[in-house]
A and B are shown apart, each in its own frame.
Chain A
Amino acid sequence: MSIAGTGSSITGLGAKRGASEKIRQTLRQVKQHKMSYVLVAPYMLFFIIFMVIPVCISIGLSFTNFNMLKVTEFVGLSNYKRLFLEDKVFVTVLKNTLVFAVFTGPVGYFLSFGLAWLINEFGRGMRTLLTFLFYAPALSSNLYFMWTYIFSGDAYGIANQMLMSIGVLQEPMQWLTDTRTMMGVLILIQLWASLGTAFLSFIAGFQSLDRSLFEAGAIDGIRNRWQEVWYISIPQMAPQLLFGAVMQISSAFSVSTIIMSLAGWPTTEYKADTIVTYMLDMGNTRYEVGYACAIAVFLFALMLFTNNVISRMLRKYSKD
């Protein structure tokens, strides 16, 4: 009994000594790599100020009624209670966000992959041109002004002229403010803008594939292009696919600029608003910063959760 006791006290002491030894070792390493920290420090300073602190602030402020004017009070979970139980508009914008995310996320993702695959079939010059044409919406987001010309609400808008000339419409349609059409039209436009960073990453992925594997695949009985892409290209491109997913999730959940510039802010009856535009409306127009922060925290959680699920799926696939 007593022997066992001494034994355990010795291991306890050992662990303690081990811990302090570990700290000392870490300190030695820190000293040894002083220069690494010096090089990383300037970037990290800005990263902490403009990314870490804002994320922490939104978590902190989401429990208060902060509005930049009155004295701030701690209000516990009441912002979250309002968000989930009382706010009817939030249900609408959450639904809109998910609809936008489904279209610009997965649809945009597969579109990016498919187009990158097709572009890869061309020679160098054509490839550059096509990449540019598809990527142009991301290069200058201002190109979306052209859509106002197409979906203009008067009789001169292209969509209206076209549908009126074949007799589908009797009078011009207010595409971007009518609650029946605006969501559909905005999805079309958002999808147009969804070929972004992921698309470039996929193009690069296809170009750096190991050519010899295709010949080996042909010998092993790969019959057509679909099998080729499924059994050879995709497994090799797993890292790019993962990166692309992160970038696509990031843009799918932050759909906002196009909506605000084309359909107004807020949109008619909030019927095409997303979590982001609603959050901006709360924080920027109504100064309900505490509540807006609760919305932000919800959005962070939603994005991290989606990212986790999708990364896990992709990893599982690439390991199989």
Chain B
Amino acid sequence: MLKKKLNRSIGGTIALFVLLALVGLYTSLPLFYTVSNAFKPLDQLYKFPPPLFVANPTTDNFIELIQLCSEYRIPLSRYIVNSVFVSVVSTLGNLALASMAAYPLAKHTFPGKKLIQKMVVMSLLFTSVVTYIPQYVVIAKMGLLNTQWSVILPMFMMPLGLYLMQNFIMLLNDSMLEAARIDGAGEFRIYASVVMPNCKPAWLTLIIFAFQQVWNNNGNLYIYKEAQKMLPALLSSVAAGSSSVARAGVSAAASLLILIPPALIFLLSQSSVVETMSTSGMKD
């Protein structure tokens, strides 16, 4: 251990820290400004250079945000209900279907398994925006346009969740499953009462990835009725005036509020995420 420390020169350490500080500053500056601008009174928003910290914090921006929203035809509560509904149903659906499929893909050998695994890995490449045009045709044919199901149902098959769960379950001890089988448990029973309780880190990770993706979806691509849309859509219309700095405070307040749910989930499940991602590797 002592030897290892000696290997590292002080100059190198300082250089690394300077680099880390610079890149860190660059990546986290927007986050800092979002937080501080949200609490800045109007006069400080226009100050130059823009103060990083707030001198006399105010909740004016949040109050103005609520006032702005109440002037809209659609009440704020509607967007919140839509966002929560879409995010929760998509995430739970993805969790249920992906974990159920991940168990046999990880632990059974059956004809067609290799093909499915190959397709899933390949589809990790294709984000929803890449397949958007043909997906639009499918969703239109199914009569789902203008409904929230157009956002929810495609989320059920988010391949990243399945991929991570499968890799995690592969590492579970076979003897545990064998013991349950000897006790007469069926495969579904094994999935529900042996596999699932033992891969909690994996499903927490799936939840954070699925939730973060759908929570940031405004629904604009498949939904044209304003009353069906989600929170980020409201944010874009509130912030529409922010190409001039006029609404910088209000849009910062809105961004901050929207960040809170995924940030909380991420911070609470961070160690699970790390544990799961260590199994994310592609062997071949």
Contact = CB atoms under 8 A, between A and B. Distances in A.
Nearest to B238: A145
Nearest to A277: B129
Main secondary structure of the interface of A (DSSP, over half): helix
Nearest to A27: B111
Contact of A261 (B48, B104, B127, B236): B236
Interface stretch (A50-58, A77-85, A98-106): A50-58
A225 B252 contact: no
Contacts of B236: 261
Contacts of B136: 283-284
B277 A200 contact: yes
A40 B105 contact: yes
Given A61-B137, A156-B245, A224-B12, A251 B127 contact: yes
Given A36-B104, A133-B27, A146 B157 contact: no
Contacts of A234: none
Given A35-B187, A140-B263, A145 B100 contact: no
B10 interface: no
B135 interface: yes
Interface in A86-141: 111, 114-115, 118, 121, 128, 130-141
Interface residues of B, number: 105
Nearest to B46: A156
A147 B124 contact: no
Interface stretch (B61-69, B70-78, B172-180, B254-262): B254-262
Contact of A52 (B46, B119, B242): B119
A251 B124 CA distance: 10
Given A35-B187, A137-B30, A207 B274 contact: yes
Given A224-B9, A225-B7, A197 B160 contact: yes
B278 A43 contact: no
Interface stretch (A2-10, A12-20, A179-187, A292-300): A292-300
A135 to B, nearest CB: 7
A50 B138 contact: yes
Contact of B23 (A111, A140, A284): A111
Main secondary structure of the interface of B (DSSP, over half): helix
Chain A interface size band reads 35 or more
A170 B72 CA distance: 39
A242 B50 contact: no
B137 A246 contact: no
B188 A152 contact: no
Contact of B12 (A42, A144, A225): A225
Contacts of A243: 280-282
B133 A292 contact: yes
B126 A300 contact: yes
Nearest to A132: B267
A69 interface: no
Contacts of A70: none
B243 to A, nearest CB: 6
Contact of A146 (B1, B8, B12, B252): B252
Interface of A: 26, 29-30, 32-33, 35-40, 42-44, 46-47, 49-55, 57-58, 61, 68, 111, 114-115, 118, 121, 128, 130-150, 152-154, 156-158, 161-162, 165, 176, 192, 195, 197, 200-201, 203-205, 207-208, 214-215, 218, 222-225, 228, 237-240, 242-243, 246-247, 249-251, 253-254, 256-257, 261, 276, 279-280, 283-284, 289, 292-293, 296, 299-300, 303-304, 307, 311
